[in-house]
Amino acid sequence: MTVTPDSIALALGQPEPDATTAEQWQMWINDAILLIEARAELLHRPIHQISEAPFDYAVREAVTAHIKHPDDSTQVTVSVDDATTSRSYSTSQGRVTIAPEHWALLGLQDDSGAFTIDTTTATHHDPVKAFLTATDSVW
């Protein structure tokens, strides 16, 4: 796990950050690592089983996304003559977050949903599947 403020600057195409910015970025790097470690613990997956490259990628992407869009909304105001109109756009969650595709890359997606769909064919050994398959053909 080797993400540093300098690697964040490189990803953003910016020069080396000053001390204050580097400290802030390091805090956000630590936040992203905390989120990943907490999810791994929640899913009972040892953190050492996650490869370094995907881990670093997820952290780097989470931090750079937060740097690009630190606030949770933007308001744009346009004025023409005596008329004014404003629109608000949501650009981020206002905090460091790990995107769903990065959870999947890390193998830490949460598959516990309300239900799952089994696409196998029903057999006489499973009356529920047989019933659902029979009723599906009626529709």
* DSSP structure string for 77-128: EEEETTEEEEEEE----SS----HHHHHHHT------S-----SPP-TT-HH
Q: How far apart are CA 53 and CA 44, in angstroms?
A: 21
Q: Give the list of residues 6+ apart from residue 139 with CB closer than 8 angstroms, or none.
A: none
pLDDT digits (tens, 9 = 90+) for 82-113: 788 877 665 556 688 899 999 999 999 876 65
- What the block records as the tokens of 101 is 């595709």
Q: How far apart are CA 125 and CA 4, in angstroms?
A: 56
Q: How far apart are CA 60 and CA 80, in angstroms?
A: 41
User: Does the predicted model carry a pTM greater than 0.85?
Assistant: no
CA dihedral 102, 106, 107, 112 (to 10 degrees): -50
CB of 72 closer than 8 Å to CB of 94 = yes
CB of 98 closer than 8 Å to CB of 72 = no
User: pLDDT tens, position by position, for the chain (139 residues)?
Assistant: 689 999 999 999 999 999 999 999 999 999 999 999 999 999 999 988 899 999 999 999 999 999 987 766 566 778 787 788 877 665 556 688 899 999 999 999 876 655 555 565 555 555 555 555 544 444 4
